[in-house]
Amino acid sequence: MNEEELNKIYKNWEEQPMFRPKINSIKLNLSLGMAGEPLNRGKAVLSELCGQTPVDTYSKQTWKKWNIRRGQAVGAKITVRGEKAYELLMKLFHANEYKLKSSSIDDQGNFAFGVSEHIDIPGMNYDPNVGIYGFDVIVQMKRAGYRVKDRSIKRNKIPKKQFLSKDETMAFLIKNYNLTLI
C-alpha cells in the first residue's frame, strides 16, 4: 500500500467513525498432539500470558502411530477480547519483530500468524522445567454494526460496504501497531 491509499482510508475513518476497524477477539491455539505433563506446562504458559484459564482441545480421531486416542486432550486454546486483546496483540507483534505477511490477511480483514517461541514475548522468561512452546494466533477483526448479524433477536444481513477489506486491516495495523507488511 502506498501513502496515498493509506491517507484516503484514514480520512474516511475520520469522516465516518463507524467505519473504524476494531479487534473482535484474539484466539491462541497451542496444539501439542499429546496429553499429560507437557500439555499442563503449555496451558500454564498460556494462562501466564493471558491471565485466563485455557480450555482443552480434544482429538477427533485415533492415531495409533502417535498414541493418540479419540477424545483425548491434545491441545489448549484461549480467546481474549476487549482491551486485553489490544495489549496482548502488541506483545505478540513484538515477538514477531512487528512484521506480518500480507498474505496472512484474508478478504474479510482477519489475520493469523505463529509465535515460534513463547520466550520472545516481553515478560515471559525461560524456565528449564517448562521448556519452550509455540502457538498460533488468530485475530478476528470487526467494525461497528457487526452485532446485527450475530444477535439472536431480529438478526439481519450486513451490507457489503460494511464489511472490512484487506486494505483497511493493513491500514489499521500500520497506524496502531507500526507494523511492517511483507
Strand partners for 99: 180
25 falls in which pLDDT band (50, 70, 90)? very high
Residue 148 is predicted with a pLDDT of 85
Residue 26 is predicted with a pLDDT of 94
Residue 41 is predicted with a pLDDT of 86
d(CA 81, CA 111): 15
Query: Is pLDDT of 63 > 80?
Result: no
Domain boundaries, the chain: 3-181
Strand partners for 135: 115
Residue 138 is given by DSSP the state E
For residue 133, give the nearest of 121, 122, 149, 151 by alpha carbon: 121
Contact 164/100 with Cβ under 8 angstroms? no
AA identity, residue 172? F
User: Across the chain, how many H-helices and E-strands are there?
Assistant: 5, 7
d(CA 43, CA 133): 10
CATH code of 3-181, in short, is: 3.30.1440.10
Residue 21 is predicted with a pLDDT of 92
- pLDDT by residue (tens digit) across 64-110? 777 777 878 888 999 999 999 999 999 899 888 888 888 999 988 89
Contact 175/13 with Cβ under 8 angstroms? no
Q: Is the dihedral of CA 176, 79, 126, 35 positive or negative?
A: negative
